[in-house]
């Protein structure tokens, strides 16, 4: 039994299978989400920053944490150029942000038109928002973030040299 548990643990931590990778991605996502929320709250409550700025700082730091954990733990991408990973991660992160923002708004509006949710189930605007936000977040998390991170961000691609060149162009070089 101990051997079996060790084998399963090793497979979970090091395996390239879809399910273990998805589970590791979920762990990374939870850690980065809690980091995002914690930083946002501290920025707002203790540093007295504006809500939009607190949210932005939390999202950026949460994204950095997510990228770092995924690079080392989830996808084991240690042999890839960090510059390429950062550019590709940013593109996927930006797409995720836009899909979540506009998807949540679209689903929220759509749910409001389903009058049976109000009459039969007593849904209120907060319920519509929660359902829209959670549903869209789950779909985007798996069908956008996970799939693109697995197949694009943390894999060597033809885009990598362009990403590295972009970073080199935008950052000063030490001579």
pLDDT of residue 15: 54
> Would you state the pLDDT for residue 120?
76
Same domain? 60 vs 92: no
Residue-level pLDDT at 144: 93
Average pLDDT per block of 10 residues along the chain, 175 residues long: 70 66 89 88 87 84 92 87 95 91 87 79 76 86 91 94 95 71
* Same-domain check for residues 94 and 155: yes
Distance CA 46, CA 38 (A): 11
CB distance 80 to 144 below 8 Å: no
**What pLDDT score does 166 carry?**
95
Q: Which of 125, 124, 131 is nearest to 107 (CA)?
A: 131
Query: Is 69 found in the same domain as 19?
Result: yes
* pLDDT value for 65: 95
In this prediction, residue 61 carries a pLDDT of 92
Distance between CA atoms of 18 and 15, rounded to whole angstroms?
Answer: 9
Q: Which of 61, 76, 91 is the last residue of a domain?
A: 76
Please indicate, yes or no, whether residues 35 and 86 belong to a single structural domain of this protein. no
């Amino acid at each position: 039994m101990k051997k079996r548990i060790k084998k399963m643990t090793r497979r979970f931590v090091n395996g390239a299978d879809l399910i273990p990778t998805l589970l590791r991605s979920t762990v990374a996502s939870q850690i980065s989400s809690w980091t995002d929320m914690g930083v946002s709250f501290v920025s707002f409550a203790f540093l007295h920053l504006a809500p939009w700025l607190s949210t932005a700082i939390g999202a950026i730091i949460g994204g950095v944490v997510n990228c770092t954990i995924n690079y080392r733990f989830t996808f084991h991408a240690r042999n890839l150029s960090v510059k390429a990973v950062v550019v590709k991660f940013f593109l996927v992160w930006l797409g995720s942000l836009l899909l979540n923002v506009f998807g949540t708004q679209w689903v929220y509006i759509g749910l409001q038109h389903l009058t049976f949710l109000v009459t039969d189930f007593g849904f209120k605007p907060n319920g519509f928002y929660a359902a829209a936000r959670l549903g869209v977040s789950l779909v985007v998390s798996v069908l956008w973030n996970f799939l693109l991170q697995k197949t694009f961000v943390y894999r060597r691609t033809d885009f990598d040299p362009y990403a590295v060149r972009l970073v080199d162009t935008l950052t000063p070089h030490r001579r």
